[in-house]
Amino acid sequence: MSGAMYYMDFDEIKVTYIIVGKLVNQTPLSIGSGRGAFGAVDNPIVRLNNIPYIPGSSLKGVLRSEAERYVKTLSPSEFVCDIFNPTDENKGELALKDKQKENYNPCIICRIFGGPTIASHLRVRNAMALSPYRTEMRTSVSINRITGGQYPGRLYDIEYVVPLTKFDFLMEVENIDLLGKSKEAEVANYLIAFLMSGNAWLGGRKSIGMGNVKLTEVRVRKIGLKRDKFVEEDVSEEFLKEVIK
């Protein structure tokens, strides 16, 4: 059983990678806090202590979706849990309910991001906007989906963070050796390259060009056990060579 449960390896610290950098929105960014009943703005952005931020859950959700696309595209034989068919016997994590754990084999996405019965090996912190930052509002008009024309007089405001704002990025990867040759490392490294390529989109109004972000100024620290001591080392150069090929 121990060999089959290697993905549940949180009982000891094997290796931890801390990836830091700056997320920069290439276009206006609008991650809404929900339409309020009262207020000057119809669609305000999320704030924490009055500072705009990108929720770690939002960023992690985008990364998980991209990881699924990557695995399905380049590794068709690798099964990925089907959230629309959770009782399928061959769909791993979401099919655990009526199976014995000894025979359980989660998909690679669940092994990285976690699931109903597995903790995540990847943690993404809230990305806070760094000073100076500025927000603006755009007025839009409601469209009648039947006629394709506008609803006369139905205007609403959208708040957004102006382009080229920097957000503080931090991701922790636990017990996946990003400099190793595992499939999990391959997927995790692809996700960093994906963020660095500037192809990630966050928040609302993506169909009209909002929410394009890019990861810059990347630094990577590795924490591992050497000679019975935990050692932290900067592996940025080695890691970036592995990621940017």
Dig out the tokens for 194 from the structure: 């994906």
Mean pLDDT, residues 35-40 = 52
Mean pLDDT, residues 45-56 = 95
pLDDT of the residue at 214: 98
What string of DSSP letters covers 196-232? HTT-EE-SS-GGGT--EEEEEEEEEEEEEEETTEEEE
Dig out the tokens for 119 from the structure: 């903790």
Of 49, 9, 28, 24, nearest in space to 161 by CA? 28
Map tokens 């080229």 to a residue: 164
Query: Rounded CA gap, 184 and 71, in Å?
Result: 10
pLDDT of the residue at 143: 57
Per-residue pLDDT reduced to its tens digit, 7-17: 667 778 889 99
Dig out the tokens for 29 from the structure: 């960014």
Is the pLDDT score of 46 beyond 60? yes
Query: Rounded CA gap, 181 and 177, in Å?
Result: 8
How many helices (H) does the chain have, and how many strands (E)? 4, 11
pTM of the shown model: 0.83
Per-residue pLDDT reduced to its tens digit, 182-211: 999 999 999 999 999 999 999 988 988 999
* Percentage of residues of the chain with pLDDT beyond 90: 56
pLDDT of the residue at 242: 86
Map tokens 């931890």 to a residue: 16
Per-residue pLDDT reduced to its tens digit, 101-125: 555 678 899 999 988 778 899 999 9
